Amino acid sequence: MSEEFKELEQHNKIPKGWLLFYFALILWGVYYIIRYTPEISGWSYYKQFEAEMKAAQVSQKTIPTENPYEHDEKAIAEGKLIYEEHCSDCHGEDLKGDVGPDLTAHLKYGETDDKKFTSIADGRPGGMPAFRNQLGRDRIWKVLAYVDSVREYGGKP
């Protein structure tokens, strides 16, 4: 071989970094195939989907037992507006009751946060409408934070 050709061949050597990258890509491909082939790894999109749905259902059913907005001034102010719009016709402007019972007195369906939440979210048989769909969880907690602020310290910060 002439010197000229030898020189040309040297120029065509594959750079080491590129080779490494090439093998890494193959390894990754093999790993990926094994990882996501149900017959080999047991992974399945449906299984993952089911697991995610299950997790979502659990978190929807469990009501937090504590009001996240307790003593939160901004939320209480918002809750007051919600109360005036949706609750005061039945429970009175001052919460002392009208068609509905006095909300500053003893609550027969329970006075823990989760019981009060359920009263508002799901309603009660004696004429309390359910507000879960209309208000949603967040605003129910806010209106409850307002109700509780009146129960505990007259609604003033």
The tokens for 90 are 């039945």
In the complex with ligand HEC, the residue whose CB is nearer, 76 or 147, is: 147
Return d(Cα 128, Cα 91) in angstroms, integer: 10
Binding mask 54-73 for ligand HEC (x = CB under 6 A): --------------------
Task: Single out the residue of 76, 120, 121, 150 in contact with ligand HEC (rule: CB under 6 A).
Answer: 120
In the complex with ligand HEC, the residue whose CB is nearer, 54 or 71, is: 71
Distances (CA, A) of 29 to 14, 22, 26, 42: 21, 11, 5, 18
**According to the binding rule CB under 6 A, does residue 100 interact with ligand HEC?**
yes
Return d(Cα 42, Cα 58) in angstroms, integer: 24
The tokens for 62 are 């469990």
In the complex with ligand HEC, the residue whose CB is nearer, 75 or 128, is: 128
In the complex with ligand HEC, the residue whose CB is nearer, 50 or 84, is: 84
Q: How far is the CB of 124 from ligand HEC (least distance, A)?
A: 4
Footprint on residues 3-42 left by ligand HEC (CB under 6 A): none
Return d(Cα 112, Cα 67) in angstroms, integer: 10
Return d(Cα 53, Cα 8) in angstroms, integer: 61
